[in-house]
Amino acid sequence: MTDIINILPDSVANQIAAGEVVDRPASAVKELLENAMDAGATEIQLVVKDAGRTLMQVIDNGCGMSETDARLCFERHATSKIRNADDLFALHTMGFRGEALASIAAVAQVELKTRPHDSQLGTQVTVEGSAVKDQQPCNCSAGTSIAVKNLFFNIPARRNFLKKESIELAHIEEIFKRVAIANYKVAFTFHHNGRLLYDLKGGNFAQRIAGIFGNTFKERLYPVEEQTEPVKIKGYVGKAEYVKRTRGDQYLFVNSRFIKHPGLSSAIEKAYRELIPEHTYPSYVIMMDVDPSRIDVNIHPTKTEVRFLDEQVIYAILRAATKKALGQFSLASELDFNPSTEIDFTPAAKGHIPETPHIEYNPHYNPFSATSHTPSSTFTPPKRDFSLPLADSTELAEPTPAKLTPVTPMSYLNRYIVTTLKSGIVVIDRQRAQERIIYEQMLRRRQNAQPDAQRLMFPVNCTFSAADSELMNELLTPLRELGFIIEPLGRNTFVVTATPQGVRDSDLQSILDQTISEYKSSMMERFNDRDKSVSLSLARQISSHASKEMKPEEMQHLIADLFSCQAPDTSPSGKKIMFILNEQDLAERLK
């Protein structure tokens, strides 16, 4: 029998490892930034071109490497972090597998320049597709500069699977934010295509959050802090009124390492139960410190998943800390801790006898006398018909405003509208109905090139993160077609001077934030229609911010608008808008 098992060459093995560690430019950026942090850097620069396709460079002022280490760092399983298996359970560093640089060098052209602080001369190493092309002394700053060029140059199929530039940049920015938040004492800069996106100075936790998300984001948060033996918690959780429909702006760190943990995320979200609408998600930035011997971070190649020895205990503590913050700070804003002292209370003089209170009344009043106002024996209360009149329509299959004339619609819980047809009682979800109406109105306006805009009395400035500003520039055209007049105003700021009908000034920042967040989620779909995606998101946002109370005539108008839509029974999100209870349904329920 012929032997069929072969030992793979190192170059092939490295490419296989690269598939686990480096699946897109953001993965390489993560490894490079974490290596810079482990080198003890206090200043880190990230330079990116073409969303990482052309260049990803990280420059730090860390400890640097010797000539020998500069060469060995590109070997598989080469690491300075661990010596034996026991070290895996006492980790205080980020990268430790020793596969990152070897994996990156297997699928890119890499240039490394490094110099220890106590050396006069540095080392330059050039690697291409796992092969060392050159190594020589060089003049460079103390620390390390590593440039990754032409990612996946030798794997065209994987390069073709990269998304468009805005998507890949959004992933890189997300990685940058995770590292920058966790290491708030370190200064970071981030350039993309020569444009400065972030310039973060070293400082405290609150300053870093404001630097990344803006001061407006910090104002939407409550502080959280809890000191216990199993876990130490500090951070911020979002106010209930600023929840989103997507899981954006959720950051959970353990020992300065960003993690994804469904259980702990659920602990935070369950603390919001009964405070936020269904299918909405709060923002949070939580840092937890746990004894490294009580966690295992070596269960996933990207090290974003961890396993806790005291998971149930940490779950309970995190949930309780979140509930405490929500209760303490939301209540404190409503209570007056400086009560007025204007009430003048003078104690009675010694020996004073209080006067006995008495009631004055007419002793001659007789309620049964002839002059009293007694009910007339001939009085009969007017008969009132509480039944709702039925409309002329007999079928819902072809709803038109002419056929459907609902009478006296009623509101239930400020969410549902109840009215009647000849075929029975119809219950309409008001928000979903508004979403359908607004969505179709937007599509018609776009098709007719006639946006319905209302000028604002005072322009409104909206601020976004660097990557979100890039996306906002992409969305300016569809937003203008829908009635917004938005123009860039300086760095990461846009000024809004007009909006579609129904959009309030106070809701603008929230509506645009959510629209960008949902657009980022929809971009992952290969055949996503940008314009329809923006229309759907805006319809959803405007309908959710609509007034909670409606007069009967307003409800009647909404019903007429709904049944003039092309698809009145289903919202643009694919959810049912209404249902009908006919006589047979009622009889079945009343058996």
For 199-240, write each residue's pLDDT tens digit. Answer: 999 999 999 998 888 777 778 889 999 999 889 999 999 998
Task: Give the percent of the chain with pLDDT over 90.
Answer: 30
Q: What distance in Å separates the CA atoms of residue 499 and residue 484, rounded to the nearest whole number? A: 4
What is the per-residue pLDDT across 293-326, written as a single tens digit (0 to 9) for each? 888 765 455 557 788 888 899 999 999 999 999 8
Residue 268 has pLDDT above 90, yes or no: yes
Half-sphere exposure of 138 (CA within 13 A, CB side): 20
Q: For residue 344, what pLDDT band results from cuts at 50, 70 and 90? A: very low
Q: For residue 473, what pLDDT band results from cuts at 50, 70 and 90? A: confident
Q: What is the pLDDT of residue 556?
A: 85
Mean of all residue pLDDT scores within the chain: 79
- The gap from C-alpha 224 to its chain's centroid, in whole angstroms, comes to 18
Residue 1 has pLDDT above 70, yes or no: no
Q: What distance in Å separates the CA atoms of residue 49 and residue 25, rounded to the nearest whole number? A: 11
Q: What is the pLDDT of residue 417?
A: 87
Q: For residue 333, what pLDDT band results from cuts at 50, 70 and 90? A: very low
Q: What strands lie across the sheet with 453-463, from one edge to the other?
A: 453-463, 493-500, 485-488
Closest CA to 73 of 40, 102, 108: 102
Is 587 in a helix, a strand, or coil? Answer: helix
H or E element in which residue 561 lies: helix 552-562
Q: What is the mean pLDDT of residues 247-251?
A: 85
At 361, give phi and psi (nearest 5°): -155, 165
Q: What is the pLDDT of residue 573?
A: 80
Encode 169-225 in three state secondary structure. HHHHHHHHHHHHHHCCCCEEEEEECCEEEEEECCCCHHHHHHHHHCHHHHCCEEEEE
Q: What is the pLDDT of residue 366?
A: 62
Contact assessment for residue 24 and residue 158, using Cβ atoms and an 8 Å cutoff: no
β-bridge partners, 221? 238
Q: For residue 334, what pLDDT band results from cuts at 50, 70 and 90? A: very low
CATH of 220-331, one of 3.40.1280.10, 3.30.230.10, 3.80.30.20, 3.40.50.2300: 3.30.230.10
Task: Give the percent of the chain with pLDDT over 70.
Answer: 76
Residue extents of the structural domains in the chain: 10-206, 220-331
Q: What is the mean pLDDT of residues 316-342?
A: 67
Q: What is the pLDDT of residue 372?
A: 46
- The gap from C-alpha 538 to its chain's centroid, in whole angstroms, comes to 16
Q: What is the pLDDT of residue 509?
A: 86
How is residue 333 written in tokens? 């804003």
What is the per-residue pLDDT across 139-181, written as a single tens digit (0 to 9) for each? 999 999 999 999 998 888 888 888 888 889 889 999 999 999 9
Q: What distance in Å separates the CA atoms of residue 58 and residue 46, rounded to the nearest whole number? A: 5
What is the per-residue pLDDT across 104-122, written as a single tens digit (0 to 9) for each? 998 999 999 999 999 999 9
Superfamily of domain 10-206: Histidine kinase-like ATPase, C-terminal domain (3.30.565.10)
What is the per-residue pLDDT across 541-575, written as a single tens digit (0 to 9) for each? 788 776 667 888 888 888 888 888 888 888 888 88
Q: What is the mean pLDDT of residues 450-460?
A: 81
What is the per-residue pLDDT across 40-79, written as a single tens digit (0 to 9) for each? 999 999 999 999 999 999 999 999 999 998 988 888 766 6
Residue 97 has pLDDT above 50, yes or no: no
